[in-house]
Amino acid sequence: MDCSSESDYTKFWIDWFLATPGNDFFCEIDDEFLSDRFNMTGLNSEVQYYQYAMDLVMDSFEYDFDEQMREQIERSAIHLYGLIHARYILTQRGLQKMLDKYKNGDFGYCPRTLCEGHPVLPVGLTDVPHTDSVKVFCIKCEDIYNPAVSRYNALDGAYFGTSFAFLLFQAYPHVIPNKLNVDRFVPTIFGFKVHEYARIERWQGRRRNELLARLEEYEDEERNPK
């Protein structure tokens, strides 16, 4: 990633990073979180030039390196911010910031027609960096999609992790829509359901009712333990 001036590296690095096209899935990490060494545990072994990268993120970079070295440190700083971000968004403050972005539709909307433009959340399919790109999850249809805008395909899914989206819905259950996986498109020929699809729909309906009944029994047992 190319930067054109000294200030790009040394002044307000996080502001520059978040303003870069394709990075708007990230939220701003609080200085208090960045300053707590406990939150950085283990990252020094995962990030090349860790201390230089941290100084760059914290706007305290005062080193004089050649352009090639500075670009390497810049890549390390981006990777470091992503790894810290994955931890930060699991905190109460981080969840709140991501919830605000979710409500604003900053992560996009579900491409499924029957979800009627429901907002999505970024998720990773793995917590291991450099394995897979970020995906988006729709709580309404409970499915995962590739982001609609191609520039997000360069984002590492590990910077959002496998737990964040579901922890957010657990912390803020009021944003979960009332109905999940109820509406589905059923193909027809001259108004009549296609036999094979109709059979599958009946099976899915029975299965869903069975699972709902089991869930109600479990909730009753939780409320009224013997």
pLDDT per position as a tens digit, 181-201: 556 666 677 767 666 656 766
Residue type, 161: G
CA-closest candidate to residue 58, choices 13, 6, 2: 13
With beta carbons less than 8 A apart as the criterion, state whether 33 and 91 touch: yes
The residue with greater pLDDT, 164 or 1, is: 164
Write down the mean pLDDT value for the chain: 87
SS3 of 20, please?
Answer: coil
Cα dist from 204 to 62, 167, 192, 199, whole Å: 62, 27, 19, 9
The pTM assigned to this predicted structure is 0.76
Band (pLDDT 50/70/90 cuts) for residue 6 is very low
pLDDT digits (tens, 9 = 90+) for 56-80: 999 888 777 888 998 999 999 999 9
State what percent of residues in the chain have pLDDT above 90: 63
**Tokens 């910031």 — which residue?**
97
